[in-house]
Structure 1
């Protein structure tokens, strides 16, 4: 059994997509988007058993921690291994440690795609020296729908209003079509900019979404769907596939014609497309960690919940520390940042509850938009 850098795309993806902890952000192609994710480089490391077959993989984003400018490794929804207590995990982590020393990295951050109460994973990570970090990168709580039943059963599992809205959109003249080419990407991105301004979250450069659609679209593992009214795009979604999973990855909508319910019909189209490709699960992605009214993204949660399904809380973020002093500085800075963010959000909530007179309200500085992590919006 040995670990090495893996360069065989098919070998990598065949293993990842057949694993119980499969995730699109650990597929071979995801490393190609590393530059958009702040990566200085990416690493695809795998463990081969005595028969030459992969038994563990980890795709690493090599980045610098903001403020510290120190290198760290991050595995988005990785590593991929069916048994974290197996010797393959030890071999994998030992190889990662060697690569970390070469770059003077101060930690390895992992967020495996497994349930929060997975005792085997919790025990295996603790025994190998990982510590829990309460500050996640990918949002932990997601809304998932089992789409293996037939369409009639899926529709019956939705809230009455959601079934009605799906049909209403069609009666109101909303048309759904699959998007291709730069013109459709441009149309989606204009809608995405509108959504970002309205809901105050960060979006990447347009070229990222174009690259995702091109690279993953080669094997029909990515699709753009646009909802149009009278020939004008009014909303859109980008769907990704990996193994049995379909991901509602990005969504955008206009401020106009929202009463025509294009988003309900778009999601239903995404579900149908995922079923056609043999997927068993439809991941709507982010919802609030605490499911209580008033939480951030509560409205997003209610929308996703209406289609049926269940919440899936993933394992907490775990860090393996290589340089303790640097890591302590990193955690202190992270704690301060989150406290400042919480105070700002509380202040904004109070201001929205007790607005000043119109002539006293300050206009926002267009050069300093309020930003939140894009992952947290989905």
Structure 2
């Protein structure tokens, strides 16, 4: 944690950010990690990667600077800024992943507020502190990612793109009948069979996480999928208080747990974090049964409007399963490229070089793993981002 965490930023950091036809005055305040996690629990756009409890475990060598934005004394959003040191002391860069987050995504000037927050961050981290600011936005439920367009117009430059950026998002605020009609025919047929298999669904208490871990370990060994997830953060997530603590669900057959899921439920977008099955789950179609009931539970017990199933890591089988569940009511949208901004030529050079080196290293590792490993290999073509699509 930075030694200035928890202190109010100097008055010069309260920026006036141009957004649309009006100017939005935002006051920026840096808070502690604990304060940050307590504040963002009520945000519409909260996500696990923006939680201090998650980020400090996932990226222990990176310092965290949680920044809260207020307008007229009311919190309107914020961003957990990660300060990444670059090799051999060449400098630092500021990374913002899945943010800035809005406290109210339905505010009439929501996108203008997002741009105002980004503008404040750009002025602080790039113009004043001489870093490159790197922002990765969420996949948008809308066809055009307005946040991406606004940042490009603000002067941010397109950077790295994920190999498989598509995210599969189920619409929650519809009836059971509408949900079932939305599913692709094959997915609906598999669900019908699962419902005749004597399966039982239940929400579990947090203490059940050890049972889930056992199930997950057995599954990854059986399926031989390479695990690029943040599984090491599981204990930190389950130690959180409501509403940030994920929900745990199990499916049983004749008293035996055959499938489980861990789901982040805070905010307007619930997220499927981890799933696990045993070797009996496939013939029972337990995965279909599990997700059907998770969808209904989220709709009936949370304020979430969407259920984000995540991506596929390049596996066509996962694409077919998730696309069938998304159906006609949900959406499949790509995470946009990273957007970078710097006013210092040196910060731009070393920041861009660092991203390029990281991309080359990650792609090389994946290629070597595919050649040497017995694990399953991706069978989807990498996604090509079309800038005209936004």
For this structure pair, what is the TM-score category when the shorter chain's length is used for normalisation?
0.7 to 0.9
- Map residues 57-96 of structure 1 onto 2, 5 A cutoff: 57-64=78-85, 71-80=92-101, 82-84=110-112, 87-96=116-125
- 2:287: which partner in 1? 263
- 2:16: which partner in 1? none
Q: What do residues 136-155 of structure 1 show as CA deviations (whole Å, max 9, x unaligned)?
A: 49x63111121211111211
CA contact (8 A) 2:93 2:132 kept: yes
Separation in structure 1 between the aligned mates of residue 228 and residue 139 of structure 2, nearest angstrom: 27
- 2:204: which partner in 1? 179
Separation in structure 2 between the aligned mates of residue 154 and residue 9 of structure 1, nearest angstrom: 33
Q: 1:221 to 1:153 in 2, by over 3 A?
A: farther
**333-342 or 237-246: which moved more?**
333-342
* Aligned-partner SS, 2:310: strand
- 1:305 aligned residue (318, 323, 328): 323
Q: 1:94 to 1:371 in 2, by over 3 A?
A: farther
* Runs (5+) with no aligned partner, structure 2: 1-25, 103-109, 383-390
1:36 aligned to 2:57? yes
- 2:297 aligned residue (260, 265, 273): 273
**152-161 or 109-118: which moved more?**
109-118
Separation in structure 1 between the aligned mates of residue 278 and residue 269 of structure 2, nearest angstrom: 28
CA contact (8 A) 1:148 1:280 kept: yes
Q: 1:141 to 1:331 in 2, by over 3 A?
A: same
- 2:147 aligned residue (107, 117, 121): 121
Instruction: Give the C-alpha shift of residue 257 in structure 1.
Output: 3.8
CA contact (8 A) 1:46 1:92 kept: no
Kindly tell me the number of residue pairs found equivalent between the two proteins: 332
- 1:151 aligned residue (146, 151, 176): 176
Instruction: Give the C-alpha shift of residue 371 in structure 1.
Output: 11
- Map residues 220-235 of structure 1 onto 2, 5 A cutoff: 222-235=246-259
Separation in structure 2 between the aligned mates of residue 118 and residue 161 of structure 1, nearest angstrom: 29
Q: 1:56 to 1:226 in 2, by over 3 A?
A: closer
- 1:133 aligned residue (155, 159, 168): 159
Separation in structure 2 between the aligned mates of residue 189 and residue 70 of structure 1, nearest angstrom: 39
Instruction: Give the C-alpha shift of residue 202 in structure 1.
Output: 3.4
* Aligned-partner SS, 1:202: coil
* Aligned-partner SS, 1:234: strand
CA contact (8 A) 2:272 2:308 kept: yes
* Aligned-partner SS, 1:238: strand
CA contact (8 A) 1:117 1:315 kept: no
* Aligned-partner SS, 2:101: coil
- 1:213 aligned residue (233, 238, 243): 238
Separation in structure 1 between the aligned mates of residue 376 and residue 340 of structure 2, nearest angstrom: 29
Q: What do residues 238-275 of structure 1 show as CA deviations (whole Å, max 9, x unaligned)?
A: 11123222211211122344211111111011101111
1:160 aligned to 2:185? yes
Instruction: Give the C-alpha shift of residue 318 in structure 1.
Output: 1.0
- 2:69: which partner in 1? 47
- 1:242: which partner in 2? 266
Q: 1:344 to 1:88 in 2, by over 3 A?
A: closer
Q: 1:134 to 1:86 in 2, by over 3 A?
A: closer
- RMSD over aligned CA atoms reads 3.5
- 1:324: which partner in 2? 348
Q: 1:96 to 1:58 in 2, by over 3 A?
A: farther
Separation in structure 1 between the aligned mates of residue 316 and residue 88 of structure 2, nearest angstrom: 32
- 2:213: which partner in 1? 189
